[in-house]
Structure 1
Amino acid sequence: MDLHYLTVILLGIVEGLTEFLPVSSTGHLILASELLGYDASVWAMFNVVIQLGAILAVVVLYWRTFWAVGMGLLRRDATSWRFLRNLVIAFIPSAIIGLALHDYIEILLGAPHVVAWALIAGGVAILLIERTIKAGRFHGIADIPMVRVVGIGLIQCISMIPGVSRSGATIMGALALGVERRTAAEFSFFLAIPTMLGATTLELLKKGDQITSSAVGWDSIFLGFAVSFVVAVLVIRWFVGLVSRHGFAPFAWYRILAGVGALAWLWAR
């Protein structure tokens, strides 16, 4: 297989595997660029756009939920409006801070050492939260009080540091604020839709011309999109069942090991 398309497929798999796990998809894509030796700046737009494949997986798997909420909004159902309200409120902090700090965030995207340290710190944080949280009181997204939704939205902003993990920050933040495990995971999935759509739109507005002018064209983006979609569908189904039974500690230990391994490799090369 052509090396270019092999890289496309590998990056699509990495994105689909890691977007909804608390291990940082962006961090893994940055480390993949170091490990595989390709020019990360050439693939930066590709990495952002293929995230939409993973987001589409959420829409497909939870279409009944979105349909029910949509119908509820038309009927002015209070639960549906609270569901929508909570997603919008949780998204607002990342939209504001992301726009304000966009240039600084881009600088961090070129720092693999930051990713490695963030993986380790995030793993330790997950272990601490897992050991200290009590059983969640809120068992539905619409049931989460507004003040706690604001807290989750602010915590999500920490994930702008590559390696922290958007899903990890939102899930752990939700758990710490009293949300039940499955609901915390699903809230993170749903919150990814406006968050990643916003990030992708911003990148397309700023650098959309790079898609056709660089070595990574639309055919590669479509392939990466499709691969990330298929892999994400499989991962989401598996992930929800796993955390409902076993919690998040396995991902914490993976993060710590991956971070230590990445630091050792970066220092030794």
Structure 2
Amino acid sequence: MNDIMNAVILGIIEGLTEFLPISSTGHMILAGHLLNFEGERASTFKIVVQLGAILAVLVLYWRRFLGFLNLTPGFHKRPGINVIHVFLALFPAVFVGFTLYRAIKDDLFGPTPVLYSLIIGGVLMIVAEKLNRRITAETMDDISYKQAFGIGLFQILALWPGFSRSGSTISGGMLLGTSQKAAAEFTFIVSVPIMFGASGYDLYKSREYLSMDDLGMFLAGVGASFVVAMIAIVTFLNLIKRLKLSWFAYYRFALAALFFFILY
């Protein structure tokens, strides 16, 4: 029962934070530390629970993904982002992630690196907000190939747990001339293949720690993550019209300060 409770708590945290610019991985590492839910088994669970958040994006943007596969009649005639945009945004982080996989896992997955990345990522978000003056892409479908690749370069920063995938890509998009909302929606789309690929690769690496005995725990975590992520995405898209990116940065600073006090 304790495992199920931990799974639900971490599933809620994953769903709530995955698409907000506050770092889901960072929150999961810190929460796991507080819950004393650590080790290889816990690390495997934290990979599996991301599937709930991925499913939430697929459900909310299913028409867009079918369009990428040309399964929606006439979609290819519509201007806007396509699979080339997604590939350009994926390639940099995928290349660096596979190249430095072991170093990232060994050196950056821990409370202290997460706290530093929360702060540095927050600074980047404030800088992006201050410099986001000339907007050339008001909506997601206005994003150019060059901007998509640039956003992909910023996504490399998200390989450092605590930096936040959405935080780095939204900041990068704003620095490259997209609106805050356009960058956020593009981040949701790009998150599906990169999270699916990263989770699949991590699960393969951790396959010896998978057990049918943990099925109930995994299902509880994925279910909680899916439901909360659905709510979080819709809420975030409404909030982002009124809420400045810097507010999320201030939250990151406060969280880092709190955990520095708790842990040290």
2:104 aligns with 105
CA offset at residue 235 of structure 1? Answer: 0.4
* Distance of 2:195 and 2:118 partners within structure 1: 21
User: Given the alignment of the two structures, is residue 223 of structure 1 paired with residue 220 of structure 2, yes or no?
Assistant: yes
1:233 aligns with 230
2:8 aligns with 9
Q: 1:80 and 1:102, CA in 2 relative to 1: closer, same or farther beyond 3 A? A: farther
1:86 aligns with 85
State the TM-score, normalizing by the size of structure 2: 0.93
Q: 1:46 and 1:231, CA in 2 relative to 1: closer, same or farther beyond 3 A? A: same
Partner deviation per Cα, 1:12-50 (whole Å, 9 max, x = no partner): 011001000001000111101221122243211110111
When the two structures are aligned, how many residues end up with a matched partner? Answer: 264
Alignment of structure 1 residues 72-83 onto 2, 5 Å: 75=74, 77=76, 79=78, 82-83=81-82
* Distance of 1:52 and 1:187 partners within structure 2: 19
CA offset at residue 105 of structure 1? Answer: 1.2
Task: Describe the SS at the equivalent of 2:241.
Answer: helix
Partner deviation per Cα, 1:77-96 (whole Å, 9 max, x = no partner): 25468421101111111111
* Distance of 1:253 and 1:82 partners within structure 2: 32
Partner deviation per Cα, 1:154-199 (whole Å, 9 max, x = no partner): 1101111111001110111011101112111000101100110110
* Distance of 1:242 and 1:251 partners within structure 2: 11
Asked if 1 retains the 8 angstrom alpha-carbon contact of 2:47 and 2:203, the reply is: no
Asked if 2 retains the 8 angstrom alpha-carbon contact of 1:89 and 1:153, the reply is: yes
For structure 1, which segment, 7-16 or 76-85, has the greater mean C-alpha deviation from structure 2 after superposition?
Answer: 76-85
* Distance of 1:221 and 1:159 partners within structure 2: 25
* Distance of 2:216 and 2:110 partners within structure 1: 28
Asked if 2 retains the 8 angstrom alpha-carbon contact of 1:33 and 1:40, the reply is: no
* Distance of 2:97 and 2:104 partners within structure 1: 8
1:195 aligns with 194
* Distance of 1:79 and 1:107 partners within structure 2: 45
User: Given the alignment of the two structures, is residue 119 of structure 1 paired with residue 79 of structure 2, yes or no?
Assistant: no
Q: 1:108 and 1:27, CA in 2 relative to 1: closer, same or farther beyond 3 A? A: farther
For structure 1, which segment, 220-229 or 139-148, has the greater mean C-alpha deviation from structure 2 after superposition?
Answer: 139-148
Q: Which runs of no fewer than 5 residues in structure 1 stay unpaired?
A: none
For structure 1, which segment, 88-97 or 11-20, has the greater mean C-alpha deviation from structure 2 after superposition?
Answer: 88-97
Task: Describe the SS at the equivalent of 1:88.
Answer: helix
Residue 116 of structure 1 aligns with an amino acid whose one-letter code is L
Task: Describe the SS at the equivalent of 1:245.
Answer: coil
Asked if 2 retains the 8 angstrom alpha-carbon contact of 1:152 and 1:173, the reply is: yes
- Indicate the RMSD between aligned Cα atoms, in angstroms: 2.0
1:243 aligns with 240
For structure 1, which segment, 139-148 or 41-50, has the greater mean C-alpha deviation from structure 2 after superposition?
Answer: 139-148
* Distance of 1:85 and 1:73 partners within structure 2: 18
Asked if 1 retains the 8 angstrom alpha-carbon contact of 2:67 and 2:76, the reply is: no
Q: 1:99 and 1:79, CA in 2 relative to 1: closer, same or farther beyond 3 A? A: farther
Q: 1:75 and 1:218, CA in 2 relative to 1: closer, same or farther beyond 3 A? A: same
* Distance of 2:250 and 2:171 partners within structure 1: 15
* Distance of 2:97 and 2:73 partners within structure 1: 32
For structure 1, which segment, 14-23 or 33-42, has the greater mean C-alpha deviation from structure 2 after superposition?
Answer: 33-42
Alignment of structure 1 residues 157-236 onto 2, 5 Å: 157-212=156-211, 217-236=214-233
For structure 1, which segment, 129-138 or 178-187, has the greater mean C-alpha deviation from structure 2 after superposition?
Answer: 129-138
Residue 28 of structure 1 aligns with an amino acid whose one-letter code is H
* Distance of 1:135 and 1:207 partners within structure 2: 45
Alignment of structure 1 residues 52-91 onto 2, 5 Å: 52-71=51-70, 75=74, 77=76, 79=78, 82-91=81-90
